[in-house]
Homo-oligomer: A and B are copies of this chain.
Amino acid sequence: MPSKPKPAPARSPKPRDATIAPRKAPRQARARVTVEALLDATARVLRESGYDGLTTNKVAVAAGVSVGSLYQYFPGKDALVIALLLRHAEHQHGAFQRALLHVADAPIPAVIDAVLEVLAAQQDSDPELAFILMNQLPRVGEMGQLIAYSEEKLSVPLHAFLVARRGDLPELDLAATTFLLTHAIPPLLQRMRIARPSKEKRRAVFQELRKMLVAYLTRGPART
């Protein structure tokens, strides 16, 4: 317990330029715990209050540490969000890539099933947070670029897969197909979780999505 915290002058006005990079890395184990706690708390606060309701003090309290500690590792709230976003994206990206590798030689419909399953599972794991991270962050400045970058990462393994299986696909502009799939499907799944449809409707939508993808990605007679 602090004995005499003494008034303290407090000088600085308001920089407000908010850098993004972590301030310093934790060296001791307890510091790593603190940093983890801060990220978890950030996630919790984001879920509960959205990006707008995120304040450094709230995060510190939620993490059970003091604001001072927070500022020791993160230069501001955006740095917290970015760190969380990167952690999240890393996870997603890894799982997706593994799933694709796992079905690298399976028939296309089986690939579609597998990939959809993985994506659905990801959405299920923490839908609110995922939604906030993907849709509620300000797309401006450094942060906007980072978000775009983290979204684009999904497209790398997908494009590689499509190129590798080109022979089993109809004639497609693979780059365009990659863009189409990576930018249409994740938002759809997000909305699905947010809308909280009944189990049946959920199943039905998945069914239709599967139909659509199979129709698109499977060789068939040319149509009008």
Contact = CB atoms under 8 A, between A and B. Distances in A.
Contact of A204 (B50, B175, B208, B221): B175
Given A180-B205, A183-B191, A187-B187, A216 B218 contact: no
Interface stretch (A7-15, A97-105, A194-202): A194-202
Contact of A184 (B135, B140, B188, B214): B188
Given A211-B216, A221-B220, A223-B220, A179 B201 contact: yes
Contacts of A195: 148, 179, 183
Contacts of A214: 223-224
Contact of A220 (B192, B205, B220): B220
A132 to B, nearest CB: 8
A52 interface: yes
Nearest to A131: B139
Nearest to A188: B184
A52 to B, nearest CB: 5
Interface residues of A, number: 51
A163 to B, nearest CB: 15
A212 B139 contact: no
Given A139-B50, A139-B135, A195-B148, A180 B209 contact: yes
Contacts of A75: none
Interface of A: 49-53, 107, 109, 131-132, 135-140, 148, 151, 172-173, 175-177, 179-180, 183-185, 187-188, 191-192, 194-195, 197, 201, 204-205, 207-209, 211-216, 218, 220-221, 223-224
List 5 tightest A-B contacts by C-beta distance, closest first: A187-B187, A176-B204, A215-B215, A212-B216, A184-B188
